[in-house]
Amino acid sequence: MEESDSIDMYLKGELEPDQLDDFQKRLATDEQLKQKLSIRKLVIAGISQAYADNLKYKLIEFDRSLEPKKRMQFSWKMAAVVTFFVSAGAVLYFSIQKPNPLEFDIAEPGLPNTMGINSDVALNNAMNTFKTGDFHMSGKQFKDLLDSNPVNDTLLYFSGICDFRTSQTESAIKKWIYIDGTSEFSIKANYRLAIAYWLNGDKIKARELLNGIINSNDEMLQTESKAALDAIK
Amino acid sequence: MNSKTNILNLETSAIIEAIKAGSEKILFQLYEVYRDEFVSWAIRNHQVSIEEAKDVFQESIVGLYKNVKSGKADTLESSVKTYLFGIGKNIIINALKRKGVEEKIMQNLEYQHDNGINDFYNQEHLINLVKRLYRAMGSPCKEILEMYYEKGFDMESVASNIGYKNADVAKKKKYECLKSLEDRINMSRLKDILN
C-alpha cells in the first residue's frame, strides 16, 4: 500500500488493527511521516474550509433569490397585468435601444465575514458596507485598505466594482488588470474588465476577454459572456 | 409540496442523514423555512440588525453542516430547528465576547504574545494558505479532492461522478492532484519562512 493511502486510511480510521499498529510505531520515530501527516491534515482542513465558505456564499445568493419570491405572493391577476405592460414596454424599448453594457454587470454578493479571532475588522466593515449597496462608502474603505496592501486581489476586485458602480470606469479597469491569473477572482475580474472596456468603447479588447472566458470552466460566466458578445456585435 | 411541508415531515435523524450524504438541498430548505423566525428572534433578543441576523443564520447553517460532518450532531435529541437556533445564539454571544477580547487586545498588546493565540493564528494562517492554493487548482482536481475528503465518497463513486473508467484511474488522478497541492503547500511554507 502506498504511504499516501496509509495516511488517508489512518485519518479516516480505516486501517486494520495490525496496520494501525505498524503505522503508529512508524509515526513515533519517522519525522518525515509525521510531517506528511500534518500536511495532509492541513489539506483536509483547507478543503473543508473552502467548502464551508462556498456554502455560505451560496446561502447569501439563495437569500437574495428568496426576496423576489416573497414579493410575488400577491394577486396573480395584478401580476399578469403588470407582466403584460412590462413585456410590451420591453419589446418597444429593445427595438429602439442599443444594448447597454451596464446591463451586463453581474451580481456580486460580497464575501462572508471572517469569524476568527484574527479576522480583519476593517475588511469586514468594508465588505458589510459593500453588501448594503453603498459603493461610494465601501469604495473609500477598500481604497484605504489598498493603500497599505496594493496587490491584494480581493481588495483590487471589490474596489474595482465600487469604482465601476460609481461611474469611475477608468479607475476600475486599472485595478482589475492587476489581478493575477491565479487569483480566485481572475475570471470574474476579466468578465468585468470586458464590460468596462465595452463601456469605454473598446469593443476589440472586450471581445478578446469575453472569448477567453468562453473557453474557461466557469459555466455561469460562459453564458454571460456569450450574451455580452451577442450584444456587442 | 413546498419546502416547509417537506422539512416539517422529516424526523431529525432523516435530516441529519441527508446532510451527511451530501444533500445541500436540505440545507437550503432549512434556511428558507426558519430564516424569518430566526431573524425576528435575533432582532428581538440580541438587538442585531436584519443583515447581521441573516448573516448569523447563514453561519448557523454552515455550523450545522460542519457539526453533522464531524459527527457532533449524531446524538442530537432536540429538533433541528432548536439546534440551529442554539448555534445561532452561540455565534451571537461569541461575537459579542470576541468584540470584548479584541478591544482588550487593542488596549494591551502584550496579550498577543500568548502562545495559545499565536498557535491559533498560525493554524488559521496555514489553513487559509491551503484554502487559497486549493481554490486555485483546476478541474477535475478540485472536484476529486472535494468528493473524497469533504463528501466522503469512495473511489468508485468519484470515478463514476467524474466519468472515469474505474476506481484505479480516479485513484491515480487523486494522487497526482494531492501531490501537486502538497508540493505547492511546501513551496509556499518555505517562501513564508524565507520571508
Residues of chain B neighbouring A35 (CB-CB closer than 8 A)? none
pLDDT digits (tens, 9 = 90+) for B16-33: 998 988 888 899 999 999
pLDDT digits (tens, 9 = 90+) for B34-79: 999 999 999 999 888 999 999 999 999 999 999 998 888 888 888 9
Residues A47 and A151 in one domain: no
As a whole number of angstroms, the distance between CA B157 and CA B147 comes to: 9
Residues of chain B neighbouring A184 (CB-CB closer than 8 A)? 132, 135-136
Give chain A's end-to-end CA distance (angstroms, integer): 58
User: For position B107, what pLDDT does the model report?
Assistant: 56
* Interface contact flag, A42 B126, Cβ < 8 Å: yes
**CB neighbourhood size of A167 (10 A):** 11
> Structurally, how many domains does chain A consist of?
2
Residues A57 and A165 in one domain: no
Q: CB within 8 A of B121, min separation 6: which ones?
A: A117, A118
pLDDT digits (tens, 9 = 90+) for A193-212: 999 999 888 888 899 899 88
User: For position B101, what pLDDT does the model report?
Assistant: 61
* Interface contact flag, B145 A47, Cβ < 8 Å: yes
The amino acid present at A101, given as its one-letter code, is: P
Can you list the domains of chain B with their CATH numbers? Answer: 1-111 (1.10.1740.10), 114-195 (1.10.10)
Contact B131, A53 (CB under 8 A): yes
Place of cell 459572456: A225
Give the best residue of B51, B56, B57, B130 to mutate against chain A (max A CB count within 10 A): B130
Residue A164 falls inside a structural domain: yes
* Maximum mean pLDDT: which of A66-75, A147-156, A172-181, B84-93: B84-93
User: For position A162, what pLDDT does the model report?
Assistant: 94
Residue A81 falls inside a structural domain: no
As a whole number of angstroms, the distance between CA A145 and CA A218 comes to: 29
Residues A38 and A151 in one domain: no
Q: Regarding predicted confidence, which is higher, B112 or A162? A: A162
* Interface contact flag, A39 B133, Cβ < 8 Å: no
CA distance B121 to chain A (A): 7
CA distance B74 to chain A (A): 17
As a whole number of angstroms, the distance between CA A215 and CA A218 comes to: 9
Q: What percent of chain A has pLDDT over 70?
A: 87
What cell numbers appear for A192 in the block? 468585468
Of A2, A42, A60, the CB nearest to B127: A42
pLDDT at B3 over 60: no
As a whole number of angstroms, the distance between CA A231 and CA A211 comes to: 13
Confidence at A214, pLDDT banded by 50, 70, 90: confident
pLDDT digits (tens, 9 = 90+) for B71-89: 888 888 889 999 999 999 9
Alpha-helical (H) ranges within A73-120 are: 76-96
Residues of chain B neighbouring A42 (CB-CB closer than 8 A)? 126-127, 130, 185
User: For position A220, what pLDDT does the model report?
Assistant: 79
* Maximum mean pLDDT: which of A61-70, A152-161, B10-19: A152-161
CA distance A29 to chain B (A): 21
CA distance A109 to chain B (A): 12
* Interface contact flag, B31 A112, Cβ < 8 Å: no
Place of cell 482536481: B141
Residues of chain B neighbouring A122 (CB-CB closer than 8 A)? none
User: What rounded mean pLDDT belongs to chain B?
Assistant: 83
User: For position B5, what pLDDT does the model report?
Assistant: 55
Residues A147 and A206 in one domain: yes
Confidence at B110, pLDDT banded by 50, 70, 90: very low
User: For position B111, what pLDDT does the model report?
Assistant: 43
User: What rounded mean pLDDT belongs to chain A?
Assistant: 84
Contact A4, A43 (CB under 8 A): no
Range of the domain at A56: 3-68
Residue A191 falls inside a structural domain: yes
Which stretch of A32-46, A133-147, B102-116 has the lowest confidence by average pLDDT? B102-116
Confidence at B113, pLDDT banded by 50, 70, 90: very low
User: For position B144, what pLDDT does the model report?
Assistant: 95
From the list B127, B141, B132, B126, the residue with the least C-alpha distance to B178 is B141
Q: What is the mean pLDDT of residues B153-180?
A: 93
Residues A52 and A153 in one domain: no
From the list A179, A177, A193, A111, the residue with the least C-alpha distance to A151 is A179
Q: Regarding predicted confidence, which is higher, B189 or A176? A: A176
pLDDT at B1 over 50: no
Contact B4, A69 (CB under 8 A): no
Residues A147 and A221 in one domain: yes
Q: Regarding predicted confidence, which is higher, B179 or A78? A: B179
From the list A59, A179, A15, the residue with the least C-alpha distance to B25 is A59
Whether A35 has its CB under 8 Å from any CB of chain B: the answer is: no
Hey, is A166 helix, strand or coil?
coil
Residues of chain B neighbouring A46 (CB-CB closer than 8 A)? 127-131, 133-134
Of B62, B101, B139, the CB nearest to A55: B62
Q: Taking CA A216 as the corner, what is the angle to CA A210 and CA A218, rounded to the nearest 5 degrees?
A: 95
* Interface contact flag, B129 A46, Cβ < 8 Å: yes
Residues A219 and A106 in one domain: yes
User: For position A174, what pLDDT does the model report?
Assistant: 86
CATH for A143? 1.25.40.10
CA distance B166 to chain A (A): 17
Residue A78 falls inside a structural domain: no
Chain pair A-B, CB pairs under 8 angstroms: 110
Residue A79 falls inside a structural domain: no
Residues of chain A neighbouring B139 (CB-CB closer than 8 A)? 217
As a whole number of angstroms, the distance between CA A159 and CA A175 comes to: 8
Residues A111 and A224 in one domain: yes
Residues A119 and A220 in one domain: yes
* Interface contact flag, B149 A184, Cβ < 8 Å: no
Residues A129 and A193 in one domain: yes
As a whole number of angstroms, the distance between CA B149 and CA B181 comes to: 14
Whether A219 has its CB under 8 Å from any CB of chain B: the answer is: no
Residues A164 and A218 in one domain: yes
Residue A13 falls inside a structural domain: yes
Residue A199 falls inside a structural domain: yes
CA distance A60 to chain B (A): 7
What cell numbers appear for A149 in the block? 496592501
Q: What is the mean pLDDT of residues A129-149?
A: 87
Residues A42 and A134 in one domain: no
pLDDT digits (tens, 9 = 90+) for A24-82: 999 999 999 998 999 999 999 999 999 999 899 999 989 988 876 555 555 566 667 76
Residue A83 falls inside a structural domain: no
pLDDT digits (tens, 9 = 90+) for A110-121: 887 765 544 578
* Interface contact flag, A117 B101, Cβ < 8 Å: yes
